[in-house]
Chains A and B, each alone.
Chain A
């Protein structure tokens, strides 16, 4: 009896449909990783550990009442900004980009923190000014978004900055940014494309060019795209079978356990497997939208919506890049790719979704 009560208390703030979806995807992650790592347990075990840690954090966040969540917005954002400035000044350079900050005991990538920090801050800001929203508030919110993005673009990390921009834009969109302004932004964006293009680094331009004709540079930057496309295409309808992918196991696929893990999955499980994976994503996203729809406050609605849409965007960008319709930007496949940081960020987001779903009765006035 006590045991049951304890258990009920333990799972009180866990959203079961969401956990089911996430759990299935995490299981898939472990299965694919084992193959992607050439049937080695090493990365699979590490990933399992990452998952355990991230799930624990998710549970913590899910149990956090919403006003605590709101209270973390400003500190997280400020911390993120300080770290970003720190990176810009003292960051570690790896692969020609300054993204990491060495804090002695651990190196961190502050842009990861901002993936949550930015929408959190913006949602907090809108909540604060809910009663008297004017166009000025949208402008300030946009500024809150663009400051960190500008720092991340400079690192340079185009992929992350675009994704953070997207998550911030989702907040603005859900907060009711007028269609006229959105239309204006789209036009302005298209008009300024040539200017932006000229601001890109050569390798960034190259990656985008490569999208149109990967064979141009078949052994250089186009290699990843070509080999990934071959892996996906050769998987066919039913796939080559688990552990049977030739592109995977003969080393033709680059970054198999991280950014290109979708190619491994596609090669071995084919279109059928892909449709199952897409269904799992659709399920998790749909659940996210249901939670968003049920959310009781302005802040939680914005936050839940942004998390869900950002998750969808990540998934789309990664799969799009692996299957050759988007340029290669360093975005992992959410919930599947190997990596502790992204797993943690994602599950923290889902923890917030659960908290939003399970604390709403308590907050409703």
Chain B
């Protein structure tokens, strides 16, 4: 009985156990089904998605920065170049204590205080995780010394890089400009103009001068290298690559030798000169004195040197040729004369009597001539040759400001010339509308009188005046002034020439032109205001002197250069073109605080023209033919 119950129990037990076993098998089947479903989902449905992810995991695109284009003068002289050298750089994110690292480094490598300051400044301005240069141009010995100790410096590395170098230093500074490290503002601009992709891998961008205005040509196209990387980001092998395309070479219309002679001829004077080939608008020399050495700016100038440059009373960082605005003074007179002839206000022969001053009808206010007792009987020709103020006071009054404005603006006064440099200023050609807008005042007849001799509200830039002079020299056919003659591409067929077609023709009556040009030649002949300019030249120079007042003279006060502080002396102008019959060069030249144009400005112009037209090298320069390049710090 008992045994039977046990047996029955045993049977039941087995049955129950088998039931549980079946449930267990079911459980395992469910688990396997869940897994299979998940794997099907991942490997069949999600296949392409995950394959893409795996690819992007393993492939990194490494940009290869292109070589920046060179800048050459019209004869192939190198004005901006690249050379390879070593820098020592610190990776912010990898180096633990930057201060300590630099201290430690300075035991191996010479790190000047200047370098430290510059580094600090960059650190403050840099993008995070950027690698910053602590020192440039390491010597081979320094490279070797560091290499042996590199393990001590995590995050510090030596890099071979191409450096930008400006062999002419400050002589071309305002023209060439410089490149500098890309900062936040640049990044923003690049992103806005959707160029950011092309700057992956680039550290530098043009900041001023041609380096800035031709940035898109000089930079080139960034290449790409597709590499397989591991999880640590190390490149394992290269998959494909697109070579970078080097930046285009700029061939300037500038003649480096002419530029140098021009710079030298200024001596210690501050000032500016723009020389243009009137036949095509090519700028032959573009001077702004003083200049500055652009080389230290490339990797960031140290704060002390920067302060020196920035606070200097000579304002070396100001591009006077492009941005300096000065009253044109008497250099406006040839253009005024053309206006007078154009509107038939005066004929060439019509003479006035100059008693030494001009009075507006019904006014006692005296507008003095520069010559106390006047020039006597003066016609248009003589008025230009002797720079008679009284003649032009009257002419301006008779023309009226509206005619003056209309006519002079044709020569580009009051407008940017559109020269291929960024940051040009437009000068100021006053008009009734302008005065009302600016001062909420009506135009007075007295305002017109001053405009007649290029004073009063009038302002021009050297570039503008050079353009106007070139247009006059070329008989009213205006060419866009440009510094770059050719953009030369490394790829055939993609080189291009810059603007050599005329902008417009003013259609000036040839008799009018003939008179004014003859008078301008007279200026440089005995009896003219710039007689020294052409003494003994085999070619004839047409010119006009000018004086821009720095401080206004009170009624009745006499200007005495000796009595006045040097920086308050008048600026000297000289505009000229030569040879007068068939002009090949036209220029505008300003000597700051140079006094009278004929005395200081014209002799500089003479040297420039002598070289350009005759190949004459001034004595002082002859021994400097061999120049050392590449050693700028």
CB <8 Å contact, B230 and A251: yes
The interface-forming segment of B28-36, B181-189, B309-317, B556-564 is: B28-36
Q: State the CA gap A214–B210 with chains docked (Å).
A: 51
Nearest 3 A-B pairs (CB), nearest first?
Answer: A233-B50, A234-B54, A251-B231
Among the listed A173, A251, A324, which residue makes an inter-chain contact with B20, where contact means beta carbons less than 8 Å apart?
A: A173
Contacts of A258 in B (CB 8 A): none
Among the listed B44, B53, B230, which residue makes an inter-chain contact with A250, where contact means beta carbons less than 8 Å apart?
A: B230
CB <8 Å contact, B232 and A278: no
Contacts of B17 in A (CB 8 A): 174, 176, 301
CB <8 Å contact, B35 and A305: no
User: Which residue, of A233, A282, A293, has the highest number of chain B Cβ atoms within 10 A?
Assistant: A233
Contacts of B38 in A (CB 8 A): 320, 323-325
> Interface on chain A toward B: helix, strand, loop, or mixed SS?
helix
For A165-190 the 0/1 string (1 means CB < 8 A from B) is 00000100110100000000000000
Q: List 4 other contacts, CB 8 Å, given A233-B46, A237-B47.
A: A271-B39, A285-B28, A316-B31, A320-B35
The reply to whether the CB of A247 lies closer than 8 angstroms to some CB of chain B is yes
Contact-size category for A: 35 or more
Among residues 241 to 272 in chain A, which have CB atoms less than 8 Å away from a CB atom of chain B?
246-247, 250-252, 266, 270-271
CB <8 Å contact, B35 and A319: yes
CB <8 Å contact, A174 and B57: no
For B19-62 the 0/1 string (1 means CB < 8 A from A) is 01100110110011011101110111011011101110110000
User: Which residue, of A174, A176, A230, A236, has the highest number of chain B Cβ atoms within 10 A?
Assistant: A230
Minimal beta-carbon separation of A9 from chain B (angstroms): 32
The reply to whether the CB of B200 lies closer than 8 angstroms to some CB of chain A is no
Q: State the CA gap A266–B36 with chains docked (Å).
A: 12
The reply to whether the CB of B123 lies closer than 8 angstroms to some CB of chain A is no
Minimal beta-carbon separation of B13 from chain A (angstroms): 8
User: Which residue, of A234, A252, A281, A289, has the highest number of chain B Cβ atoms within 10 A?
Assistant: A234
The reply to whether the CB of B229 lies closer than 8 angstroms to some CB of chain A is yes
Contacts of A289 in B (CB 8 A): 21, 24-25
Minimal beta-carbon separation of A220 from chain B (angstroms): 14
The reply to whether the CB of B18 lies closer than 8 angstroms to some CB of chain A is yes
Q: State the CA gap A312–B35 with chains docked (Å).
A: 12
For A262-302 the 0/1 string (1 means CB < 8 A from B) is 00001000110011001001100110010011000010010
Among the listed A233, A237, A275, A286, which residue makes an inter-chain contact with B36, where contact means beta carbons less than 8 Å apart?
A: A275
Nearest residue, chain B, Cβ from A272: B43
The reply to whether the CB of B162 lies closer than 8 angstroms to some CB of chain A is no
The reply to whether the CB of A327 lies closer than 8 angstroms to some CB of chain B is no
Q: State the CA gap A323–B31 with chains docked (Å).
A: 13
Minimal beta-carbon separation of A295 from chain B (angstroms): 9
> What number of residue pairs across chains A and B have CB atoms under 8 A from each other?
119
Among the listed B18, B32, B42, B44, which residue makes an inter-chain contact with A323, where contact means beta carbons less than 8 Å apart?
A: B42
The reply to whether the CB of A309 lies closer than 8 angstroms to some CB of chain B is yes
Q: Report if A278-B230 is in contact (Cβ < 8 Å); known contacts: A230-B53, A246-B58, A305-B24.
A: no
Among the listed A230, A237, A281, which residue makes an inter-chain contact with B32, where contact means beta carbons less than 8 Å apart?
A: A281
Q: State the CA gap A289–B24 with chains docked (Å).
A: 9
- Sample 22 A-B pairs with CB under 8 A, ordered by A number: A174-B24, A176-B20, A230-B54, A232-B39, A233-B42, A233-B46, A233-B50, A233-B51, A236-B51, A246-B55, A246-B228, A250-B229, A271-B39, A271-B40, A275-B36, A289-B21, A289-B25, A298-B13, A316-B31, A316-B32, A320-B34, A323-B42
Among the listed A246, A309, A319, A325, which residue makes an inter-chain contact with B54, where contact means beta carbons less than 8 Å apart?
A: A246
Contacts of A148 in B (CB 8 A): none
CB <8 Å contact, B57 and A233: no
Q: State the CA gap A285–B34 with chains docked (Å).
A: 16
Among the listed A274, A312, A320, which residue makes an inter-chain contact with B43, where contact means beta carbons less than 8 Å apart?
A: A274
Interface residues of B (CB under 8 A from A): 13, 16-18, 20-21, 24-25, 27-28, 31-32, 34-36, 38-40, 42-44, 46-47, 49-51, 53-55, 57-58, 228-232, 236
The reply to whether the CB of A117 lies closer than 8 angstroms to some CB of chain B is no
Contacts of B31 in A (CB 8 A): 312-313, 316
CB <8 Å contact, A278 and B51: no
The reply to whether the CB of A110 lies closer than 8 angstroms to some CB of chain B is no
Q: Report if A232-B42 is in contact (Cβ < 8 Å); known contacts: A289-B21, A293-B18.
A: yes
The reply to whether the CB of A229 lies closer than 8 angstroms to some CB of chain B is yes
Minimal beta-carbon separation of A289 from chain B (angstroms): 6
Nearest residue, chain B, Cβ from A267: B54
Contacts of A271 in B (CB 8 A): 39-40, 43-44
Contacts of A235 in B (CB 8 A): 43
The reply to whether the CB of A231 lies closer than 8 angstroms to some CB of chain B is yes
Q: Report if A250-B231 is in contact (Cβ < 8 Å); known contacts: A271-B44, A316-B31.
A: yes
Q: State the CA gap A227–B53 with chains docked (Å).
A: 9
Nearest residue, chain B, Cβ from A293: B21
Nearest residue, chain A, Cβ from B37: A325
Contacts of B18 in A (CB 8 A): 293
Q: State the CA gap A232–B35 with chains docked (Å).
A: 12
Minimal beta-carbon separation of B60 from chain A (angstroms): 11
